[in-house]
Amino acid sequence: MKNVRIKVTILAAMFSLLAAGMFAYIPENTPENSFAEMIAAKSAEVTTLVFAGTEAVSKEVVSTKYEDREVMAKGHHAAAREASGSESVSTDKILYYEAKQEMLDAEQAMDEINQWIGMYQTKKSSDVVTFKKMKKYLAVKDTALRTLVEVLKTRENKMEVMKLKKAITKADKDFNRYKKLLKGTIELIPNKPLPEDKE
C-alpha cells in the first residue's frame, strides 16, 4: 500500500511538470529577446527612469548681497573700495526628494531584467567570468534601486538619494566596462522556459 502511494505521488509530480512545460513560455532567439535588448538596453532604461522619477522638493531662500565699486580716495592716488547698496538674491534650497511615477516604472523594468537574466549563456568559455561580473553589477544596481525606493518614502533623504543615484550610475559603468571585454556573444539558452514573474 505504501509503495502504491509513492508511485501515485511520483506520477502526480510528473504530470504537474508536464503540464507546466506545456504552458511555459520558451522565448525564441530573436532580436527582441536578445541580451542587448532585454538586459543591456533595459538596464539603461532603468537608469533614465530613476533620474526622471526623483523629484526635488525645495524652498526659496532670499539672501542679501552687497555690491562694491572702486573709487579714488581724495588726495591719494591709491584706489579704495566702498559698499554701494545691496541686491536681493533668491536661490532654491533642496529639502528632500520624493518619488514620481517613473520610479515605479523603473522597478518594473528591473523586475523584468531579473526575470530574464538567467535565460542567457556565453558562447565562449573565456567569457564566463566576465559574464558573472556583469550579472553581479546588475544585482548591485537592483539593490541600490530597491533601497532608493524605500529612502524616497522618508524625509531629510537628500544625501542618501544622491548617494544611491551615484551607486546606480557606477554599477552601469562597471557593467558596461565588462561588457566591452566580452570576446563572444551572449545568447538565449535553447529550449529554456522563461520563469514566472515574481510578484
pLDDT bin (cut points 50, 70, 90) of residue 114 is very high
pLDDT of residue 173: 98
* 61 has pLDDT over 60: no
Structure confidence by residue, pLDDT tens digits, 22-32 = 468 999 989 99
pLDDT of residue 154: 94
Q: How many CB atoms lie within 10 A of CB 189?
A: 13
Q: Can you tell me the distance from the alpha carbon of 80 to that of 84, in angstroms, rounded to the nearest whole number? A: 13
* 64 has pLDDT over 60: no
**Averaged pLDDT, 161-169:** 98
CA distances (Å), origin 77, targets 14, 28, 73: 103, 86, 7
| DSSP state at residue 125 | G
pLDDT bin (cut points 50, 70, 90) of residue 133 is very high
pLDDT bin (cut points 50, 70, 90) of residue 50 is very high
Nearest to 133 by CA among 168, 179, 186, 164: 179
pLDDT of residue 59: 76
* 162 has pLDDT over 70: yes
Q: Can you tell me the distance from the alpha carbon of 108 to that of 145, in angstroms, rounded to the nearest whole number? A: 11
Under 8 Å between Cβ of 83 and 66: yes
Q: Can you tell me the distance from the alpha carbon of 93 to that of 81, in angstroms, rounded to the nearest whole number? A: 32
* 163 has pLDDT over 60: yes
Q: Can you tell me the distance from the alpha carbon of 40 to that of 178, in angstroms, rounded to the nearest whole number? A: 12
* 71 has pLDDT over 50: no
pLDDT of residue 16: 46
CA distances (Å), origin 74, targets 69, 70, 77, 81: 15, 13, 8, 13
